[in-house]
Amino acid sequence: MRALYPGSFDPLTFGHLDLIERGCSLFGEVIVAVLENPSKSATFPLSQRLDQIKAATKHLNGVEVISFDGLTVNCAHQTKADLILRGLRAMSDFEYELQIAHTNRTLAADFETVFLATAAHHSFLSSSVVKEVARFGGKIDHMVPEEVAEDLRTLFN
């Protein structure tokens, strides 16, 4: 099966990477779709986010990294995905994720959203937390892959 894993990935964290790895073992193929959202300014430009994810997933078979804009369900149709993959860290994610999943079902009844619970040791991780720590020179090597850590150090040094 082919799973579409959409998100901002601004930047990719070990929480995201864990989901991609587990998605690969469960479904065989994971398309990581990086949202290009002109109305939301990203910390890292789209091309850099794509490069970061490609570098961090090069050890995995069955991963493709693409960008998309517009509706996730359109991207799922275009890529011939069987399902949409998302992650859940805490109750705070649940409300938002449920709303999006229901909305997507009303737009395209043929797509299921499959949620994977975060690995417990990654449950505190979010792109914004990582940026906050990096901004003040804190240790980030246990939070993000090496290439992302380097980009963050370059950005905030």
| Identified binder of ligand ADP from the candidate list 48, 67, 79, 126, rule CB under 6 A | 126
Contact 42, 49 (CB under 8 A): yes
Half-sphere exposure of 64 (CA within 13 A, CB side): 12
Query: Catalytic: 127?
Result: yes
Active-site annotation holder among 16, 49, 86, 122: 16
Residue 16 bears catalytic tag: yes
Residue 86 sits in the site that holds ligand ADP (CB under 6 A): yes
Q: Does 131 bind ligand ADP (CB under 6 A)?
A: no
From 39, 40, 41, 80, the catalytic residue: 40
40 classed as catalytic: yes
Q: Which residue has the tokens 């570098």?
A: 55
**What is the three-class DSSP state of 61?**
coil
Residue 23 near ligand ADP by CB under 6 A: no
101 to each of 42, 64, 79, 84, 124, how far by Cα in Å?
Answer: 23, 22, 18, 9, 23
CB-nearer residue toward ligand ADP: 7 or 145: 7
State the DSSP string of 99-150.
HHHHHHHHH-TT-EEEEEEPPGGGTT--HHHHHHHHHTT---TTTS-HHHHH
Q: Report how many residues bind ligand ADP under the rule CB under 6 A.
A: 16
- Per CB under 6 A, does 49 bind ligand ADP? no
Catalytic residue (choose from 49, 86, 127, 131): 127
- Report how far residue 67's alpha carbon sits from residue 142's, in angstroms, rounded to the nearest whole number: 26
The answer to whether 16 contacts ligand ADP (rule: CB under 6 A) is yes
Q: Give the binding site for ligand ADP (CB under 6 A).
A: 7-9, 13, 15-16, 19, 86-87, 89, 93, 118, 122, 125-127
